[in-house]
């Protein structure tokens, strides 16, 4: 019998032979307005498969580009091996963006190579859909009732978990609510700008950025900012108005308090206990374990932090000492998909739930979905882009509306669940600072250093 081999191959997947899959290139595209700047990443291979990743909002693409020479020629399916090689180049908050973005893209490639969804490679899933909350902002001066109406609109769209800001920004312009060194609050509000500031002048922008960095990055215990009793009264009334609109049945988390000390954080939490708060987030910097223990022991409001913490061992002090009731890692800071699951599993041993911070593109959203699906103590995942109409169309091969009635369905497609980035949409929103789509990164091909951490 004659065999038509070419005809037979039409029914065989020859696009990927996992054992011989190799990384050949890494490239980036930056877009703006989704809602922040997003640095999107592709890892290319010798078999035509492409892995999708992303650098965390606000981080430099250099954090990922510098890893290229350490990955070229490697098999992307060896995810843990490659992560252990590059994780030394990550750090807390945005400094982890490159390592984590690469890790996500490696999982996408491995899933596509083996034809399975990422969650299955993590041991399977605990749930078929992931609960989403969307951080909700109201611009300009407004009342708690205005915020309540904005949150009610989220509920009308099917969201079953809410979050809002409750900080010193609400007190801005109201005398007698905040005490601080003379002029400090005014300078902080200016964002480092000065008289005659020209946004088109690069030197002016650089000065303002650096000045704002110095001001905004003064840690909470060192600012001498304190909320007065009048200020606490206004914040409590604001929250009461919110609850009057949305009721008490739905969970409501609060965030962005401002750079206040632990003593003021305790006062505020005691004031808002009666409003049935799901958690109070990032009241003080995560590094101050002893202050978190003191804070949690002083209030019945669940205390939460974690979006800036890199690697599971750095969550351990907060968990071991009982400083938090909820952890809140971001996959583009925590270490990526697998490290995030390990963090959640460790938290479960201490009776602590895991929520997920997510303010990036659908690629990172799907990465969070797979990690959350495979983690038993998962609570809820953030999405910062509910109001961005073109957010869903950043990728191809996904549902037209990724968030369905307050949830994201866990995709069963190989890899993360997206086929590719939608270049047509990316061109419409490309960052003018990086106007070329998927530009060459060959200048990073031969970066070399002695990376070993021991002698």
Report H helices in 202-300.
202-216, 229-246, 262-272, 289-296
Which token pair is 304? Answer: 């939460």
Give the span between the Cα atoms of 314 and 334, in whole angstroms: 9
Give the span between the Cα atoms of 332 and 357, in whole angstroms: 9
Pairing of strands 50-55, 129-136: unpaired
Give the span between the Cα atoms of 196 and 201, in whole angstroms: 11
Kind plus residue range of the DSSP H or E element containing 25: strand 23-31
Cα 154 versus chain centre, distance: 20
Give the span between the Cα atoms of 385 and 389, in whole angstroms: 8
Query: Got the DSSP string for 72-134?
Result: TTS-TT-HHHHHHHHGGG--SGGGGHHHHHHHHHHHHHHHHHHTSBHHHHTT--S-SEEEEEE
- How many other β-carbons are positioned within 10 Å of the β-carbon of residue 259? 22
Q: What are the φ and ψ backbone dihedral angles of 413, each rounded to 5 degrees?
A: -70, 155
pLDDT for 59 equals: 84
| Three-state SS at 350 | coil
Answering whether pTM is above 0.85, one says yes
Tell me the domains of the chain and their CATH numbers: 11-116+433-444 (3.30.390.10), 129-178+224-418 (3.20.20.120)
Which contacts of 291-298 are long-range, i.e. CB under 8 A and separated by 24 or more positions?
Answer: 291/221, 291/262, 292/318, 292/321, 292/323, 292/324, 293/321, 293/322, 293/323, 294/262, 294/266, 295/262, 295/265, 295/266, 295/269, 295/323, 296/322, 296/323, 296/324, 296/325, 297/322, 298/266, 298/269, 298/270
pLDDT for 292 equals: 98
Q: CB–CB of 312/343 below 8 Å?
A: yes
Q: Which residues contact 211 (CB under 8 A, 6 or more apart)?
A: 192
With a cut of 50, which residues of the chain have pLDDT below it? 9
How large is the C-alpha radius of gyration of the chain?
A: 23
The string of pLDDT tens digits covering residues 112-164 is 999 999 999 999 999 999 999 988 989 888 999 999 999 999 999 999 999 99
pLDDT for 455 equals: 83
Kind plus residue range of the DSSP H or E element containing 363: helix 362-373
**Structure letter (DSSP) for residue 235:** H
Q: Which residues contact 75 (CB under 8 A, 6 or more apart)?
A: 18, 19, 20, 21, 22, 23
| Three-state SS at 353 | strand
Which token pair is 321? Answer: 């000492």
């Amino acid at each position: 019998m004659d065999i038509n081999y070419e005809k037979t191959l039409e029914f065989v997947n020859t696009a990927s032979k996992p054992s011989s899959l190799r990384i050949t290139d890494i490239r980036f595209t930056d877009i703006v307005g989704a809602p922040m700047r997003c640095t999107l990443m592709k890892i290319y291979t010798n078999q035509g498969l492409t892995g999708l990743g992303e650098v965390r909002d606000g981080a430099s693409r250099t954090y990922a580009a510098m890893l290229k020479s350490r990955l070229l020629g490697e098999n992307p399916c060896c995810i843990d091996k490659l992560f252990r090689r590059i994780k030394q180049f990550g750090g807390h908050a945005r400094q982890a963006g490159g390592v984590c973005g690469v890790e996500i893209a490696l999982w996408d490639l491995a899933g596509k190579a083996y034809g399975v969804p990422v969650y299955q490679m993590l041991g399977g899933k605990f749930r078929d859909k992931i609960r989403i909350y969307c951080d909700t902002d109201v611009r300009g001066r407004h009342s708690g009732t205005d915020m309540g109406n904005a949150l009610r609109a989220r509920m009308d769209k099917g969201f079953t978990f809410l979050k809002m800001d409750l900080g010193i920004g609400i007190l801005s312009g109201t005398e007698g609510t905040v005490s601080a060194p003379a002029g400090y609050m005014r300078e902080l509000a200016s964002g480092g700008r000065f008289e005659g500031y020209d946004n088109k002048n690069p030197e002016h922008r650089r000065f303002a950025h650096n000045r704002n960095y110095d001001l905004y990055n003064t840690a909470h215990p060192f600012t001498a900012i304190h909320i007065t009793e009048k200020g606490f009264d206004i914040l409590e009334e604001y929250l009461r108005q919110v609850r009057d609109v949305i009721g008490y049945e739905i969970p409501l988390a609060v965030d962005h308090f401002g750079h206040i000390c632990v003593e003021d954080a305790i006062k505020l939490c005691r004031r808002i206990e009666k409003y049935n708060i799901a958690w109070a987030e990032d009241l003080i910097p995560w590094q101050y374990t002893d202050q978190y223990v003191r804070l949690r022991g002083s209030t019945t409001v669940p205390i939460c932090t974690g979006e800036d913490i890199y690697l599971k061992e750095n969550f351990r002090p907060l968990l071991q000492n009982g400083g938090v009731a909820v952890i809140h890692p971001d996959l583009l800071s925590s270490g990526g998909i697998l490290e995030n699951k390990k963090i959640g599993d460790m938290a479960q041993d201490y009776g602590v739930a895991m929520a997920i911070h997510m303010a990036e593109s659908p690629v990172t959203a799907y990465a969070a979905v797979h990690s959350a699906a495979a983690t038993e103590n998962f609570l809820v995942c953030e999405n910062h882009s509910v109001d961005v109409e073109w957010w869903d169309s950043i990728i191809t091969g996904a549902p037209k509306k990724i968030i369905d009635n307050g949830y994201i369905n866990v995709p069963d497609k190989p890899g993360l669940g997206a086929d590719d980035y939608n270049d047509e949409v990316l061109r419409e929103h490309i960052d003018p600072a990086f106007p070329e789509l998927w530009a060459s990164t060959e200048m990073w091909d031969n970066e070399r250093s002695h990376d070993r951490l021991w002698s």
